[in-house]
Structure 1
Amino acid sequence: MNDDIYQRYTEMTGLEFLRELIARGDASPMGQLMNLRVVDVSEGRAVVEGIPDARFYNTMRRMHGGFAATLIDTGLGCAVMSKLGKGVGYGTIELKVNFVRKIDVETGPVICTATVLHAGRTMLTAECKVTDKAGQLCAHGSGTFLVYPKQG
């Protein structure tokens, strides 16, 4: 992770920040830990790839639900961030996750495509789908995000 971009966050819009992360091939510390990376972003939309790893298995040798939940929270958050101005932050205040197909190492990379549904002055909502390489739905979710005051 290249820390200088995080020190300059207040100088960039959310969309500029995310595009720079993609250009650098960078990920947040959580993204690195969970094998997640933003692969595409536009205003109000983000695509995040997650690579399942056996380190994330639960006791039944299936991917722990927290893997998909983290992927969903990341995708939704990036879509929200893409709508924010310079130095404006956000935080998840509600997250809903639906699991519809198992994810394991054999599933291979999964893609979370998230879209902002509502972008208000103090709150945003977004929804997403998580699909496997064949395009089959594995999970879907939605979230509500609180806008933090401008920093810097």
Structure 2
Amino acid sequence: MKEQVEELFKECLSEATDEDLQIIKQLLEGVQRKCNRENGSIIGGIFAMDREMKDGHLEVSIPITPVTHNSLEIVHGGVTATLVDTAMGTLANMMLPEGYGAVTTNLNVHYLAPGVGEHLTAHAEIVHQGSKTIVVDGKVVNSDGKLVANSTGSFFIFKKKQ
């Protein structure tokens, strides 16, 4: 496997543009962030997600780079959805007692403006926490503070296997 990866890496580098090199660098840094446990998932590492708890709600930010772009050179809607789902799901899981987890059962994303600027930040806040589900409100803003997306998510609570 290592030899296949090395060969593919050499092929990619041989004809890479500056943008391609930037993308390769971000992907490798993402793997490194996951290995160093700076992010809990490869997605969090590749998108360079940073999180911060503020006044009872969670913020998760990512830089806008060619890795996040669609063919129109704005943030891909799926990246925006992943960002807000991550923020809402992380907050839902943080609210649970030891031994419990929560997974997304429903995600609604209303896109309001293109993802442009230096970074996107998702804000998540608990709307309702019951014994079986948690409902979370999410908003995504760009680096200028413009609202990019408004979201809600429902999360099913389950007991983790020991």
Shorter-chain TM range is 0.7 to 0.9
Deviation (angstroms), 1:60: 2.5
1:142 paired with 2:149, answer: no
Bigger relative CO (Cα 8 Å, ≥ 6 apart): 1
2:48 corresponds to = 35
**CA-based RMSD:** 2.0
Normalised to the residue count of structure 1, the TM-score between the two structures is 0.76
Q: Counterpart of 1:47? A: 59
For residue 99 of structure 1, what is the aligned residue in structure 2?
Answer: 111
Q: CA contact under 8 A between 2:39 and 2:49: conserved in structure 1? A: no
**Displacement of 1:2:** 5.4
Moved runs in structure 1, 4+ residues, more than 4 A? none
User: Hey, what does 1:111 align to over in structure 2?
Assistant: 121
Structure 2: unaligned runs, 5 residues or longer: 1-33
Q: Percent identity?
A: 24
TM-score (norm 2): 0.71
| Corresponding residue to 1:73 among 85, 88, 92 | 85
- 1:2–1:84: structure 2 CA closer, same or farther, 3 Å change rule? farther
**Residue aligning to 1:12:** none
